[in-house]
Amino acid sequence: MRVLMFGWEFPPHIAGGLGTACYGMTKGLAANDVEVLFVMPSASGDEDESAVKIINASDVKVDVVDHNTEDFLGKVQFVQVGSNMVPYVDPDDFYRIVEEEKHCTREEFSIRYGQKYKFSGKYGSNLMEEVARYALVGASIARQYEGQFDVIHAHDWLTYLAGIAAKQVSGKPLVVHMHATSYDRASEDHIDTRVLDLETRGMQAADKVIAVSELTRNICINKYGISPDKVVAVHNAVDFSGRDEIKVERGVKDKVVTFLGRVTYQKGPEYFIEAAAKIIKRCDNVRFVMAGSGDMLNKCIRHVARLGISDRFHFTGFLRGKDVQKMFALSDVYIMPSISEPFGISPLEAMQTNVPSIISKQSGCAEILDYALKTDFWDVDAMADAIYALLNYPAISSLAARCGRDEVNALKWNQAAAKIKAVYESVIK
């Protein structure tokens, strides 16, 4: 079986979980005898191609497309970059993107045949122009590789237009993968309706929709009106191969409770702060760390100051790579109080490092983790009680750490990929 797959990023150059998931997924598919042609806007040449063939969209000339595809692309609207719209942006780049947006001049979208488009592959001020042109190139790739793939697979709204265009040109079935929805990224009254429209169009045009959790599947059905028969939940996995054990020396004797993620509405940082204030009143040997950056960071700093807990609450800014592993190594408890989390990779990474974890019931990974403590994101009293239990009852903490590590190590991409392959088989006539 051969798949033409449209993504937006691929290791080693990634901004978030989408690229990591695509990497693990393609390796798992290769182990299940599925060949993947992986298209990305801008390849660097140092991507791992042991399990995929990388197609750099920036190297592809735009061919003449049929009138239906041209008409379809002509209806694409531009959309401005905003924090609620871009789920995978490096938080440290957000301020830069906003500043670029203030000064950018927009060109009218046009189709210019016989030329290559140079994509940034980032989440910058011209994001929607890149999304539209990616669709144009996607149609050309589908024609260029005619007869070399059986099914099309598009990851998240950034690539849905490309997937639709490739389907129109090739006639091959389309599977779209919903990693995060507009309803995850913002409250319902702040949703960008133009992105919502792209998500809806992608799922409507698809032969099957893969959701990363039952939580996300239900959103696709209930919020977007997609038929339940069309949506299949396949949970993500985590590839810990090649990860070294990291040992660090602590500078303090206090216990450490860590929040690690984007400091945005979706992640529930204010609930973490409220729970921290409750614990600090009960324990004098604990510190709290908020590791991350985002549009709510300044608000959170002010909130901590108002509560009078600044002496035991620390902000690290955005962490990446080895620094993330070091933070987990320094932590006694990890917490993810997300308001809506399609899946959630960070708790799995923490648990793999022997850190007992607390997650919100409103997360996809809560469906598959038995040894993480679960609370409603809004129930700060229950959240505080869970933190207190892990800090003060060694038997609970030890059980959660030991069994949690075994649990996440059993989540293999080969198994998830086998389910994805079954989805492919269901749409191939």
| pLDDT given for residue 132 in this prediction | 84
The stretch 102-109 carries a mean pLDDT of 49
> 403 with 416, same domain?
no
Helix, strand or coil for residue 38?
A: strand
Residue 429 has pLDDT above 90, yes or no: no
Helix, strand, coil distribution of the chain in percent, nearest 5:
45, 15, 40
Residue 77 has pLDDT above 70, yes or no: no
> 268 with 211, same domain?
no
> 231 with 292, same domain?
no
> 153 with 136, same domain?
yes
pTM (predicted TM-score) = 0.84
The stretch 109-134 carries a mean pLDDT of 71
> 322 with 422, same domain?
no
**Domains contained in the chain, number:** 2
Residue 256 has pLDDT above 70, yes or no: yes
Task: Say if residue 347 is preceded by a cis peptide, omega within 30 of 0.
Answer: no
| pLDDT given for residue 92 in this prediction | 43
Residue 109 has pLDDT above 70, yes or no: no
Which of 294, 15, 292, 342 lies closest to 184 in space, CA to CA? 342
Q: Does 245 reside within a domain?
A: no
From residue 7, how far is each of 19, 152, 163, 348 by CA, in Å?
8, 11, 10, 23
Q: Does 134 reside within a domain?
A: yes
> 55 with 145, same domain?
yes
Lowest mean pLDDT across 41-55, 183-197, 300-314, 334-348 = 183-197
354 confidence band (pLDDT: 50, 70, 90): very high
From residue 407, how far is each of 117, 213, 297, 401 by CA, in Å?
45, 17, 33, 10
CATH number at residue 327: 3.40.50.2000
Mean pLDDT for the chain overall: 86
| pLDDT given for residue 369 in this prediction | 95
Beta partners for residue 341, in sequence order = 363
The stretch 217-225 carries a mean pLDDT of 96
The stretch 289-315 carries a mean pLDDT of 95
Residue 81 has pLDDT above 50, yes or no: no
> 392 with 421, same domain?
no
Residue 274 has pLDDT above 60, yes or no: yes
| pLDDT given for residue 186 in this prediction | 74
Give per-residue burial for 160-189: e unless 16+ CB within 10 Å, then b: bbbbbbbbbbbebbbbbbbbbbbbbbbeee
**Which pLDDT tens digit goes with each residue over 304-327?**
999 999 999 999 998 877 888 899
Q: Which domain holds residue 366?
A: 255-409
Residue 116 has pLDDT above 90, yes or no: no
User: What element of type H or E holds 200?
Assistant: helix 193-205
Residue 420 has pLDDT above 80, yes or no: yes
**Which pLDDT tens digit goes with each residue over 362-398?**
999 999 999 999 999 999 999 999 999 999 999 999 9
Cite the DSSP H helix spans in 63-145: 67-74, 94-103, 127-144
**Which pLDDT tens digit goes with each residue over 28-62?**
999 999 999 999 998 888 988 989 999 999 998 88
Task: Say if residues 38 and 54 touch (Cβ distance below 8 Å).
Answer: yes
Q: Does 244 reside within a domain?
A: no
89 confidence band (pLDDT: 50, 70, 90): very low
Residue 350 has pLDDT above 60, yes or no: yes
Q: Does 377 reside within a domain?
A: yes
> 404 with 416, same domain?
no
User: What distance in Å separates the CA atoms of residue 116 and residue 62, rounded to the nearest whole number?
Assistant: 6
| pLDDT given for residue 104 in this prediction | 52
Q: Does 246 reside within a domain?
A: no
Placement of tokens 């997300």 in the chain: 338
Q: Does 386 reside within a domain?
A: yes
Q: Does 249 reside within a domain?
A: no
User: What distance in Å separates the CA atoms of residue 161 and residue 280, rounded to the nearest whole number?
Assistant: 49
| pLDDT given for residue 325 in this prediction | 87
Percent of the chain with pLDDT over 90: 60
> 52 with 188, same domain?
yes
Helix, strand or coil for residue 315?
A: strand
The stretch 56-77 carries a mean pLDDT of 68
Residue 86 has pLDDT above 60, yes or no: no
Percent of the chain with pLDDT over 70: 85
> 21 with 134, same domain?
yes
Residue 97 has pLDDT above 60, yes or no: no
> 13 with 67, same domain?
yes
Residue 122 has pLDDT above 60, yes or no: yes
The stretch 142-160 carries a mean pLDDT of 94
Q: Does 242 reside within a domain?
A: no
> 264 with 216, same domain?
no
